[in-house]
Amino acid sequence: MNLIKYGEKFFDEIEIEIFRKKEISAVAELNQISSTATRDLKGSIIRGIKDGKIGTYILDSSDEKSIKEGVEKAYKIALKNEKDENWHSLPEQQKYSKNKVNREIKSIREDYLVDSLVLSLKKVKDKKPEAIVVGAETGSVWEETEIHNSHGIDVSQNNAGTYFIMALSEKIGENVTPTIFDMDARRDANLAYDKVIDSTIKKVKNAENVVKAENGEFSILIEPFALGEILQFALYPAFSGERKVKGTSILADKINEKVMSDQITIEDNPFHKLSINTLIADDEGVATHRNIIIEKGVFRGFLWNTYWGNIASKESTGNGLRSFRTGSVGIGFHNMVISPGKKTMEDIIQEMKKGYIISSFQGAHSSNPDTGDIAAVANPAFYVEDGEIKGSTVFMVSGNIYNIMRNVAEVSREQKPIYAIARGIYPGVLFENVKIANVSK
Amino acid sequence: MDVDQALKKAENLNASYVEVRYEDITKNHLELKDGVFSTFTEKRLRGYGIRVLANGAWGFATINSDKVEEGIESAYRMALAASRGIREKIELSPIEIVEDYVKSRMKIKPQDVSLDEKIERMKRLERNLKKTDEVKSTQIRYEDAHGKKIITTSEGMRIEFDVNYIFHYLWVTGLQGDKRGAVRNGMGFVDEGWEAFGKISMEELATKMIKKLRNQMNGVSSKRGEYPIVASPIVIGIIAHEALGHLAEADLTVNSPFKELIGKKIAPEYVSMSDRFVQKGFGNAKYDDEGTRVRDVHIIKNGILKEIMLNREYAKRWCMEPNGHARAENYTYPPIIRMRNTVFEPCDYSFEELLEGIKFGYYLADYRGGQAELNSAFQVGIQEGYVIRNGEIAEPIKDTSISGIAIESLKNISAIGKDFGIEYGICGKGQNAFVSSGGPHIRFDRSIVIGGKK
């Protein structure tokens, strides 16, 4: 690539990532469509290394002239940085898997999205007239990315997906129910609008009766979205190879040790059949793989990017993820998958004598990633007695994520794609002896 | 084609309002992680966020080319599509149309400070933090920006902003045997520049952070349940923001318990809370992103829920005056209703008087994150706290969270301090906004639940 040759005039090593992104969405508020939006964005990120000094420049353009100017700016920045004694090199040429992208998504029009949303609003009104559509959104995303570097990385990839979110509430006297939401995300346009609508309406009905939670230890069924939220902040940071090197991961010396229930298997798998992030390369151009992190409760290994892999004498696992805000490449995940169990969610609930269901957490982001300690608020949550949902409630869950993950009673057969916050494929998981304190009145 | 020409051509469209927000901002991001500048980045963000109101619906388009006319047409097309699903047409409340240049109040702007000085400041902080063996890992982030933002509308508004800010964030991880801890700190400046930011002592900041870290590692676990608490200005600020501020954002008020409570008494008469200008406030601005002049909003005045935060659309719906709370993170987002500086107003108690009579409770000194829900349930993470025993501050506690139902907790404010302080933060509501929150020390006798392993 000409731009890489140009960059090599300045740098010992250079990497250029160019992206183009087209998003289109329709949004509803208060039971009606409020807006549609289109974002047509492009940009480039240049990371260059000269004598072990790194400089990065980000620009909102993908034209050659602007990128060349960006290379020169990155060079000036790098000269002001200090030498990183641990710098080894950018990654070498790779062999990639093939990914299939549904090209129809690129041509989805605003009218189609508005029609789908109008129909969804009508269905909510027909099925549950008292419900208020607090917010709803449906949209499509089309991304094209190229990554090139001076060691022969030269990869282009597309990614595409569609999504639908529905958030409902209902006024009960002077109070309102918590916001009840559900979502679907797919890599084609066949979104399950009806399923999402039915699920949110069912939960709003369950939330009409408010009950006070008890203080103590109970069986808790954490639904897919809530599970993703809490794991994202309390558990996943410990999988980072950087934290292994620095000794701040609680799993640093626990490879091949049992760290949670044998019912839990966690992998990062961009190629899972439900994944909406089917990338063949990470943001450094390293080929992505299926990486098993927890296998039947046993910790199998960390996730690495090139930099921290080199320091630890490990191969990158294809988990170099760039912050498009700052341009730096850290360690992240593409599509976390928690393996399914055997029982349906319905069966798990029916077998609960007394316990609670958590649909979402407030404050999962306050969890301590260095200790795994959590104190998050379950809201919306539901009380279950003799297999029946009796009403909604709010309570605080306190404890340590590793202790909680040891007490798994069941994992649901159903898995759900979650694309917000903790990107991945999650089942519902029933935990035993979770400590809770009532918040609701 | 320039923006004025594009707006002139847009007169041929059947649009009731066209708004073009142009930004050209250069940012510097530095991150020092354990001795290495892992982020050493300059970034230029340049583009247009275009909103069109047509047939009573919004259309929004983002472009980062100079094809403004195409951008307007695209946003117009979006609005027409959206209008097919509109039952109640969106209208805008009128505002004063101005042409203005908003000059930065910073005396020393970040771009006038050498990179060497910024680097040295970060390294000094790291050196001071790592003087103690308990500090295992540090991440120091620094971000500054300079550039311009120009809002031009079909109503004749043209406001150019001289945009400048400084933001600093720190995360420290501690490890001592099997004891672990982690603390954060954030600071942000929009009115004052390096003349204030550069004077902050890195030595004092490091000492404060190490103290918080040691307290966490050596603290006791809090007892799960409902106890009397005294919240510091930092913690009361985040309660003001999360528990009450969000409910007073008009787009959220309509679905919250606040809707039926406007004009009613919701707290003791000594409780007042505002979203207003504060000295050094990270949310300060002269105009919002619709060009409305920003004014103070007295959310709770002497215990009565008085005002809510509005943009032009919701001001029209509520038959109120817009008050300057439409904010967009950058040109890729449309403006939505956001807080600025949300604070409880001080009263007359000393800190010692607030503690008096509490046999067992908690003093909550610093927070780490928080979140609100429309049913007024809130959560705030606590990274520094202490047991109150027999009216005195006792042993520190490990990090935890508090929660409550805001409209219940408000009724249980029993005393308000005479001091005042603010904290800086970035609020996420689909897009980020710089905010401050604060107030005096405040005591709650009931209605706040604290988490804990006991």
B159 touches B24 (CB < 8 A): no
Reported as half-sphere exposure (CB side, CA atoms, 13 A), residue A39 has a value of 20
Asked if A365 and B85 come within 8 Å (Cβ–Cβ), the reply is no
Q: What pLDDT is recorded for position B1?
A: 59
Q: Are residues B208 and B230 in the same domain?
A: no
Q: What pLDDT is recorded for position A178?
A: 86
Q: Are residues B362 and B326 in the same domain?
A: yes
Which residue, of B168, B190, B218, is where some domain finishes? B218
Is A241 in the B-facing interface, judged by CB distances under 8 Å? no
**Residues of each domain in chain A carrying CATH 3.30.2290.10:** 2-205
- Choose the closest CB to A81 out of B37, B334, B401: B37
Q: Are residues B152 and B273 in the same domain?
A: no
Closest CA to B149 of B331, B290, B1: B331
Per-residue pLDDT for B451 more than 90?
Answer: no
Q: Are residues B280 and B399 in the same domain?
A: yes
Residue B300 has which token pair? Answer: 């709770």
User: Which helix (H) or strand (E) segment is A347 a member of?
Assistant: helix A345-350
Is B78 in the A-facing interface, judged by CB distances under 8 Å? yes
For the domain made up of A2-205, the CATH class stated in words is alpha beta
B70 touches B52 (CB < 8 A): no
Confidence of residue A1 (pLDDT cuts 50, 70, 90): low
Q: Are residues B187 and B241 in the same domain?
A: no
Average pLDDT over residues B102-109: 97
- What secondary structure does DSSP assign to A102-115, as a single string? -GGGGG--HHHHHH
Q: Are residues B80 and B148 in the same domain?
A: yes
What confidence tens digit (pLDDT) does each residue in A154-169 have? Answer: 999 999 999 999 999 9
Reported as half-sphere exposure (CB side, CA atoms, 13 A), residue B413 has a value of 29
Confidence of residue B430 (pLDDT cuts 50, 70, 90): confident
A331 touches A320 (CB < 8 A): yes
What confidence tens digit (pLDDT) does each residue in A382-423 have? Answer: 999 999 999 999 999 988 999 999 999 999 999 999 987 789
| A 265-304 near B (Cβ less than 8 A) | none
What confidence tens digit (pLDDT) does each residue in A174-227 have? Answer: 778 888 999 999 999 999 999 999 999 999 999 999 999 999 999 999 999 999
Asked if A59 and B43 come within 8 Å (Cβ–Cβ), the reply is yes
ipTM metric: 0.90
- Taking the C-alpha atoms of residue A50 and residue B132, their distance in angstroms, rounded to an integer, is 33
Q: Are residues B397 and B438 in the same domain?
A: yes
**B168-203 residues labelled b (16+ CB within 10 A) or e (exposed):** bbbbbbbbbeeebbbbbbebbbbbbbbebbeeeebe
Reported as half-sphere exposure (CB side, CA atoms, 13 A), residue A383 has a value of 18
Which residue, of B189, B218, B247, is where some domain finishes? B218
What confidence tens digit (pLDDT) does each residue in A231-265 have? Answer: 999 999 999 999 999 999 999 999 999 999 999 99
Q: Are residues B69 and B163 in the same domain?
A: yes
Q: Are residues B263 and B214 in the same domain?
A: no
| A 361-400 near B (Cβ less than 8 A) | 362-363, 365-371, 373, 375-377, 379, 394, 396-400
CA distance A27 to chain B (A): 8
- Choose the closest CB to B255 out of A114, A132, A248: A132
Mutate to test the interface with B, among A23, A24, A36 (most CBs of B within 10 A): A36
Is A253 in the B-facing interface, judged by CB distances under 8 Å? no
Q: What pLDDT is recorded for position A14?
A: 98
Domain that holds residue B80: 3-218
Please state the φ and ψ torsions of residue B128, each to the nearest 5 degrees.
-70, -35
Is A36 in the B-facing interface, judged by CB distances under 8 Å? yes
Which residue, of B182, B198, B218, is where some domain finishes? B218
Q: Are residues B316 and B259 in the same domain?
A: yes
Sorted by sequence, the CB contacts under 8 Å of residue B265 that are 6+ apart come out as B303, B304
Asked if A437 and B224 come within 8 Å (Cβ–Cβ), the reply is yes
Q: Nearest residue on chain A to B382, judged by CA atoms?
A: A366
Asked if A58 and B44 come within 8 Å (Cβ–Cβ), the reply is yes
- Choose the closest CB to B85 out of A77, A117, A325: A117
CATH of the domain at B214: 3.30.2290.10
- Taking the C-alpha atoms of residue B295 and residue B286, their distance in angstroms, rounded to an integer, is 8
How many structural domains compose chain B? 2
Question: Is the pLDDT higher at B377 or at A18?
Answer: A18
Mutate to test the interface with A, among B21, B311, B318, B401 (most CBs of A within 10 A): B401
